[in-house]
Amino acid sequence: MSTDARTPEPPYWAVIFSSRRSITDPDEYAAAATRMVELASQQDGFLGVESARASDGFGITVSYWRDREAIAAWRRHDEHRIVRERGRQAWYEQFQVRIACVERAYERTQEDG
Amino acid sequence: MSTDARTPEPPYWAVIFSSRRSITDPDEYAAAATRMVELASQQDGFLGVESARASDGFGITVSYWRDREAIAAWRRHDEHRIVRERGRQAWYEQFQVRIACVERAYERTQEDG
């Protein structure tokens, strides 16, 4: 997964999740990661997600949300809670979560010349 | 590069840079990326940086800063400006920059059990 998220004009919110993968369960992990993106994108207030993981196991996923309430609701989602717990136990050697308010944003595409 | 940044208690600031690399100049790009991390880490107000790029060319770098003034000063840095301009012209097919205030953070390491 990757993709550049098409977010609206700020302000909106970001959840920055940086993690180091363990070598456990690559297939189970990949299926769960795909499912979580699918599920997140169905939630009210979801704006987009970007993700990159390098070959050394370190990865960053940033999901974007309309407001803090949308983030809180997603954290309470039952299936998400179960998968988070599984991640905590098995998939990550280490992770950090940061919740941030995006106040400014700009982009550049090839078409800008 | 990767590393989990040892940031202080919030609030502090994050610059979320997500990009898709072109295939141009891999060696020049790698040298410049290393140099920019070295230079950023010498700036007043720099708190840390995390970066991951997947094999498909999509990457996310998040740098952390004490306040907006530190981010603005780094943007004005002469060598950084020159390298940014080179990146804009040659190294990225597309990028987005988001400036965000981190309001909450938590982490988990293997030692937490």
Q: Least CA distance to B107: which residue of chain A?
A: A96
Q: Name the more confident of A12 and A5.
A: A12
Give residue-wise pLDDT tens across range A40-76: 999 999 999 999 999 899 999 999 999 999 999 999 9
CA distance B38 to chain A (A): 20
Mean pLDDT value across chain B = 91
Mutate to test the interface with B, among A1, A15, A16, A67 (most CBs of B within 10 A): A16
String of DSSP letters for B16-74: EEEEEE-SS-HHHHHHHHHHHHHHHTTSTTEEEEEEEE-TTSEEEEEEEESSHHHHHHH
Residue pointed to by tokens 């979801």 = A46
| Complete DSSP assignment for A37-78 | HHHHTTSTTEEEEEEEE-TTSEEEEEEEESSHHHHHHHHH-H
Chain B contact set for A109 (CB, 8 A): 93-94
Cβ under 8 Å to A: B residues 39-98: 50-56, 58-60, 62, 88, 92-98
Judged by DSSP in three states, A28 sits in: helix
Q: Which of B96, B52, B72, B57 is nearest to A96 (CA)?
A: B52
- Give per-residue burial for B43-76: e unless 16+ CB within 10 Å, then b: bebbbbbbbbbbeebbbbbbbbbbeeebbebbee
- Please list every residue in chain B whose beta carbon sits closer than 8 Å to the beta carbon of residue A102: 16, 98-100
Residue B47 phi/psi, 5-degree rounding, is -115, -20
Q: Nearest Cβ partner of A106 from B94, B97, B102?
A: B97
Q: Looking at CA atoms only, how far is residue A87 from chain B in angstroms?
A: 11
What's the pLDDT band for A80 if we cut at 50, 70, 90? very high
Question: Chain A partners of B55 at a C-beta cutoff of 8 Å?
Answer: 55
- What the block records as the tokens of B70 is 């530190």
Q: What is the pLDDT of residue B112?
A: 55
Residue pLDDT, tens place only, B24-75: 888 999 999 999 999 999 999 999 999 999 989 999 999 999 999 999 999 9
Task: For residue A30, count other CB atoms closer than 10 A to its CB.
Answer: 11
Question: Average pLDDT, stretch A19-47?
Answer: 93
Closest Cα in chain B, distance from residue A104 (Å): 5
Give the pairing type, strands B92-109 and B46-53.
Answer: unpaired
pLDDT tens column, A84-110: 999 988 999 999 999 999 999 998 875
